[in-house]
Amino acid sequence: MENNNEELQYINLIKEILEKGIDEITRNGNTCSIFGSMMKFSLIDGKIPILTTKKVAIKTCFEELMWFIKGNTDNKLLQQKNVKIWNDNSTREFLDSQGLFHLKENDLGPVYGHQWRYFNAEYIDCNTDYKGKGIDQLSYIINCLKDPDKRTSRRLIISSWNPCQLNEMALPPCHIMIQFNVRAGKYLSCAMYQRSCDMGLGVPFNITSYSFLTHLIAHHCDLEAESFIYFMGNCHIYKDHIESLNLQIKNIPYQFPKILIKNKYDNIEDYSYTDIEWLEKYKSYDKINMKMIA
């Protein structure tokens, strides 16, 4: 089997943390951690890095991404798509533990989607229409990327980290800054910085999500997706995940799949999972269960 050296970046980082990481007692459990790492993945010719050493929930990942893109913060919209990843952070008990007594259950406050589309707009609740309020960071990026004179800008940045509203969020953002870069007028790359990296559950999801985002924006703006660069701050493994990850790192990675986005729309919000065609199918090992730690 030909080595998938790009997935080996993840496997080797897991091994490094297990061998050299420091045991820490944290907000939500005991971890083994290191600080500072990076990975780089090719997106050329439709390649998309979805880890193969365990099964990743691809559609769940895509639906959450579209939830961000649409500026949504209501967990019920994810539940309607059978997406459960925010459930533990949106219960009455969890919201109350964060002092968010005014938010209704399943209202997550001004999290990712709000900051991407309405940055710093006063947050009322998840049902309020915020159109025209705050800063629409995503539209700014798209407009610049569509303009040959602006796509070379070094200011193509989206920030999810808004200190003014952190205390209103059910969970402060982990993946906090995105930068887009166009090379030679047509090749789009995305770099993302993540402050807190749950290596077992979160990181595989984040790799897939931001690679989907880069492919989607490249397609939408008549560019070609080239790479996703992943900068990582606190890289940690929860003690409850060690046994599962020790199984995963024994698996030899398959090659990553390839996708084609079939249709093009005027509005970035109009894409759906059915617009993705699999040029090379996703092949992986079985699902490896790990407990979600809120």
Ramachandran region of residue 200, left (φ > 0), alpha (ψ -120 to 50) or beta? alpha
Across 26-52, b (16+ Cβ under 10 Å) vs e yields: eeeeebbbbeebebebbbeebbbbbbb
Average pLDDT value for residue range 232-241: 97
Residue 33 dihedral angles phi and psi, to the nearest 5°: -145, 155
Residue 253 sits in a domain of what CATH number?
3.30.572.10
DSSP codes joined into one string, 177-226: EEEEEEETTTEEEEEEEEEEEETTTHHHHHHHHHHHHHHHHHHHTT-EEE
Measured CA distances, 9 to 14, 118, 189, 235 (Å) = 9, 35, 19, 13
Tokens representing 147 are 């303009």
47 within a domain of the structure (yes/no): yes
Cα(222)–Cα(215) distance, rounded to whole angstroms? 11
245 in a domain, yes or no? yes
The pLDDT tens digits for 137-163 are 999 999 999 999 999 999 999 999 999
User: What was the pLDDT predicted at 26?
Assistant: 86
Q: Is residue 198 part of a domain?
A: yes
Annotated active-site positions, please? Answer: 174
Residues linked to residue 23 through DSSP beta bridges, in sequence order: 32
Look at strands 187-198 and 224-238 and give their pairing: parallel
Average pLDDT, the chain: 96
Q: What is the C-alpha to C-alpha distance for residues 263 and 274, in angstroms, rounded to an integer?
A: 9
Q: Is the pLDDT of residue 100 over 60?
A: yes
The pLDDT of 162-172, averaged and rounded, is 97
Question: With b meaning 16 or more CB within 10 Å and e meaning fewer, what string describes 247-258?
Answer: ebbebebbebbb
Spatial distance between the Cα atoms of 258 and 238, rounded to a whole number of angstroms: 31
Read off the pLDDT of residues 264-287 as tens digits, 9 standing for 90 and up.
Answer: 999 999 999 999 999 999 999 999
Q: Give the confidence band of 292 by pLDDT, cuts at 50, 70, 90.
A: confident
Region 90-101: what's the mean pLDDT? 96
Query: Average pLDDT for residues 208-224, to the nearest whole number?
Result: 98
CB atoms closer than 10 angstroms to residue 109: 24
Q: How many domains is the chain partitioned into structurally?
A: 1
pLDDT band at 28 (very low <50, low <70, confident <90, very high): confident
Q: Does any domain span residue 168?
A: yes
pLDDT mean over 39-64: 98
Tell whether 160 is covered by a domain. yes
Does 94 fall in a domain? no
Q: Which pLDDT does position 1 carry in this prediction? A: 47
The pLDDT of residue 2 is: 59
pTM of the model: 0.96
* Average pLDDT over every residue of 129-138: 98
Structural domain boundaries enclosing 146? 5-70+137-280
CA distance linking residue 124 with residue 183, whole number of Å? 40
Question: The tokens of 217 are what?
Answer: 């924006």
Q: Find the mean pLDDT for residues 232-254.
A: 97
Q: Which of 119, 145, 147, 143 is nearest to 133 (CA)?
A: 119
- Helices 202-220 and 58-69 meet at what angle, rounded to 10? 60
Q: What is the mean pLDDT of residues 51-80?
A: 98
Q: Is residue 14 part of a domain?
A: yes
Task: Specify if 85 maps to a domain.
Answer: no
Question: Beta-carbon neighbour count of residue 82 at 10 Å?
Answer: 9
